[in-house]
Amino acid sequence: MKNITSSKPLNGVKVIELSNMITCSLAAMTMASQGAEVIKVEPPIIGDKMRPLGTQKNGVSGFFHNCNRGKRSLAIDLKSEAGVEALKKLASKSDVLMHNYRPNVMDKLGLGSEVLRKINPKLIYIAVSGFGTKGPMANLPAFDHVIQGFAGFTDLQSSDENSFDFIKTFICDKVTAYTVCQAATAALLARTNTNEGQHIDISMLHACLSFMWPDGMMHRTLKDEDRIDMSPGSEYFQTINYTDGGVALAALTDEHYEVVLPMLGYPELVGKSIFSSIPSRMTNMKEVLKTYANPRKDIGVDKALEILTAADIPCSLCIKRDEIETVEQIKAIGALETYVTNAMGKLTVTTPPILFEGKSTSHAEPSPLLGEHSSDILKEIGWNDSKITKLIDSGDILITSI
């Protein structure tokens, strides 16, 4: 058992994760980085579908590793009698169980919330779904890009009236994951007062609508007819593309535009009605964006950053992903760490972004092979070698090592 320190506030918390893809996997890994002990329960043949996706070594992808560091893997068939028995025993001694199966799947397995929370009233049971537990779409499958479309993300990304574009990262999965993590820790805090766990439902759709709403749906927030329609603030922040790279900037004030417009080669637009105030610029955003998209001067990124920084305008270089590891500021905050594991060799990943007591922490842990810890975990719940061997022979569990 690790020492309890302020940098690992979830030390001693035990989490069971049953997850395919990102939502619960990333949530549980975040809790692991904060000290929780996480057992990942996977099907014994293919395991989590993330395992082979993308750049990989020894059958484990960087994609899987980035969502599953620091966990132990139990590969067991939950449709078997042994699988049900094992999960019930694990749940009896755990604090949190999270899964992203479709509604009613766990109930059909005999592992629903009511069953497990009767065994362990202190258990926090989190069920993650795509579209929720009610309504005509409740039982439909959902992946990130499906929710991006249904929650309005693809509309927000598009610049044309009748076209839609994806955000090129699994944003809905990750937003849901952080929602799950926050809900779990809130429920753990509530339990300190009630001494009881609870059932929590979280849908990707609801989590992502909540994420979208502050800016992406602000034009649908005010309902009275006398409202003044403006573009969302997110459109106010733009990039300037030069032949040697790009600059990201957030010019907000009138004084900022007295610097930006001449820099772009449009000095005659300073003080013009369209650019004279924040409301005017936001109501004429298409015209404003034309100046960013078509700079008359190609002064290059270094000169642009010099001008913008001197005027205290928020700005930065647009960094290519392949260059992130070389950036001095990223090194300065200790955002990345490199280490070696037996299965995957040398790896570079992010460190935990939360600095408890202002101190950086490491999460330089391996991700588990499928079933790597099956034997140890089953012995911890009281099963002997003979029983485990029979289950291996029957295919109900898998044990892998390297």
What does the pLDDT read at residue 5? Answer: 59
Burial class (CB in 10 A: 0-12, 13-18, 19+), 281: buried
Tally the residues of the chain: 402
pLDDT recorded at residue 93: 96
Is residue 369 within 8 Å of residue 401, measured between CB atoms?
yes
The tokens describing 197, both together, are: 């766990």
Phi, psi dihedrals of residue 120, rounded to the nearest 5°: -135, 95
Q: What distance in Å separates the CA atoms of residue 190 and residue 160, rounded to the nearest whole number?
A: 46
For residues 102, 107, 109, 114, the Cα torsion angle rounded to the nearest 10 degrees is 130
Local structure of residue 97 (DSSP, 8 states): E
Domains of the chain: 14-213+341-398 (3.40.50.10540), 237-323 (3.30.1540.10)
Going along 33-185, which residue ranges are E strands?
37-42, 56-57, 60-61, 72-76, 96-99, 124-129
118 in Cβ contact with 124 (< 8 Å): no
Half-sphere exposure of residue 337, counting CA atoms within 13 Å on the CB side? 16
Instruction: Determine phi and psi for 290, rounding to 5 degrees.
Output: -60, -35
Q: What does the DSSP 8-state code read for residue 349?
A: E
The pLDDT of residue 1 is 37
Q: What is the pLDDT of residue 185?
A: 97
pTM for the whole structure = 0.91
**How many whole angstroms from its chain centre is CA 23?**
7
Q: What is the pLDDT of residue 210?
A: 96
The whole-angstrom separation of Cα 398 and Cα 396 is 7
| CB neighbour list of residue 38: distance below 8 Å, 6 or more residues apart | 15, 16, 17, 28, 29, 31, 32, 70, 71, 72
Q: How many CB atoms lie within 10 A of CB 77?
A: 19
The DSSP secondary-structure symbol of 310 reads: H
- Give per-residue burial for 64-76: e unless 16+ CB within 10 Å, then b: bbbbbbbbbbbbb
Q: What is the pLDDT of residues 128-179, one digit of tens each?
A: 999 999 999 999 999 999 999 999 999 988 777 778 999 999 999 999 999 9
Q: Tokens 């289950």 appear where?
A: 391
Contact 44, 344 (CB under 8 A): no
Query: pLDDT at position 228, please?
Result: 75
- The residues with which 96 forms a beta bridge, in sequence order, are 15, 124
Using alpha carbons only, give the angle 161, 162, 163 rounded to the nearest 5 degrees. 105
Q: Confirm if 25 and 177 have CB atoms less than 8 A apart.
A: yes
- Give the separation between CA 129 and CA 141, rounded to whole angstroms: 9
Name the stretches of the chain with pLDDT < 70: 1-5, 230-236, 401-402
